[in-house]
């Protein structure tokens, strides 16, 4: 008999970080579009207003990134266990998960990865989240800070190839983020119900289906 089990999957600091970050990144994408294509896109009135909002959202994203990093390194102390793929993940897990997303999901088969608080992410999530959180997000923050303080950081900016290179890199990184966002939201809807992965990101608790005869709740 199938029974429901509630598992506390996402602690509050991670949820606060995630939604602050999501709100900040979406704001950055929209204001960034207006700043890049001012003749075609005008969502926030003036060009100056878009820049002000873009800079503020950048500060919010940077602070929330520090919250995420501090929480996983100093408090939970499980950044590596949760985010870094194992050899087994790389050898067979990634392929198994691709088969699920591309094929077996549409045949109604269950997800090969069973999430637990100790192993929250499937091999693909680990790879993508690691790349986003350890490479892309720090790079986009770093290039954004350089662009915010062009005059005081002039020397460093010249060392990195000048303002044109930096603007181009910042824009390319932003494009990567925008593509990630679409794929991320789509994949997040592939739980046993479309909102199954969204609920734990909101209230912390994930509903799991367990198949034993004895009911045994892990949570209220």
Smaller CB separation from ligand HEM, 147 or 206: 206
Minimum distance from CB of 133 to ligand HEM (Å)? 6
Q: Is 60 in the site for ligand HEM (CB under 6 A)?
A: no
**Tokens at residue 40, please?**
């075609």
Stretch that binds ligand HEM, among 41-49, 143-151, 156-164, 196-204 (CB under 6 A): 196-204
49 Cα distance to chain centroid: 27
Q: Is 129 in the site for ligand HEM (CB under 6 A)?
A: yes
26 Cα distance to chain centroid: 12
**Does residue 6 come out as left (phi exceeding 0), alpha (psi in the -120 to 50 range) or beta?**
beta
User: From CA 90, how far away is CA 84, in angstroms rounded?
Assistant: 10
Q: Is 185 in the site for ligand HEM (CB under 6 A)?
A: yes
The SS3 assignment for 177 reads helix
User: From CA 131, how far away is CA 183, in angstroms rounded?
Assistant: 14
Which residue among 5, 7, 13, 18 contacts ligand HEM (CB under 6 A)?
A: 18
Which residue among 10, 27, 143, 169 contacts ligand HEM (CB under 6 A)?
A: 10
Q: Is 126 in the site for ligand HEM (CB under 6 A)?
A: no
Which residue among 133, 148, 160, 167 contacts ligand HEM (CB under 6 A)?
A: 133
User: From CA 65, how far away is CA 17, in angstroms rounded?
Assistant: 7
User: From CA 173, how far away is CA 163, in angstroms rounded?
Assistant: 15
Stretch that binds ligand HEM, among 30-38, 39-47, 158-166, 178-186 (CB under 6 A): 178-186
Q: Is 26 in the site for ligand HEM (CB under 6 A)?
A: yes
Q: Is 132 in the site for ligand HEM (CB under 6 A)?
A: yes
Which residue among 21, 31, 97, 143 contacts ligand HEM (CB under 6 A)?
A: 21
Minimum distance from CB of 108 to ligand HEM (Å)? 20
For 80, 82, 84, 210, the CA distances from 126, given in Å and listed in that order, are 10, 7, 6, 24
Q: Is 147 in the site for ligand HEM (CB under 6 A)?
A: no
User: From CA 21, how far away is CA 34, in angstroms rounded?
Assistant: 20
User: What is the DSSP track for 97-141?
Assistant: HHHHHHTGGGGTPPPS----SSS-S-HHHHHHHHIIIIIIHHHHH
Interacting residue ranges for ligand HEM, rule: CB under 6 A: 10, 14, 18, 21-22, 25-26, 120, 125, 129, 132-133, 137, 181, 184-185, 188, 197-198, 201
């Amino acid at each position: 008999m199938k029974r429901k089990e509630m598992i506390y999957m996402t602690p509050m600091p991670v949820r606060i970080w995630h939604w602050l970050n999501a709100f900040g990144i979406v704001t950055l994408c929209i204001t960034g579009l207006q700043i890049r294509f001012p003749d075609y896109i005008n969502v926030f009135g003036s060009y100056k207003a878009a820049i002000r909002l873009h800079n503020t959202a950048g500060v919010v994203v940077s602070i929330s990134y520090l919250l995420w990093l501090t929480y996983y390194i100093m408090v939970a102390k499980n950044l590596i266990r949760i985010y870094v793929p194992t050899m087994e993940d790389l050898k067979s897990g990634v392929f198994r998960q691709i088969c699920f997303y591309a094929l077996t999901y549409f045949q109604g088969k269950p997800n090969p990865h069973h999430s637990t608080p100790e192993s929250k992410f499937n091999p693909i999530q680990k790879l993508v989240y690691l790349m986003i959180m350890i490479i892309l997000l720090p790079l986009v923050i770093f290039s954004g800070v350089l662009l915010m303080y062009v005059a005081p950081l002039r020397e460093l900016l010249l060392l990195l190839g000048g303002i044109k290179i930096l603007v181009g890199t910042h824009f390319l990184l932003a494009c990567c983020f925008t593509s990630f966002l679409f794929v991320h939201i789509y994949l997040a809807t592939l739980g046993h119900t479309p909102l199954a992965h969204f609920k734990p990101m909101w209230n912390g608790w994930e509903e799991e289906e367990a198949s034993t005869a004895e009911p045994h709740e892990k949570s209220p």
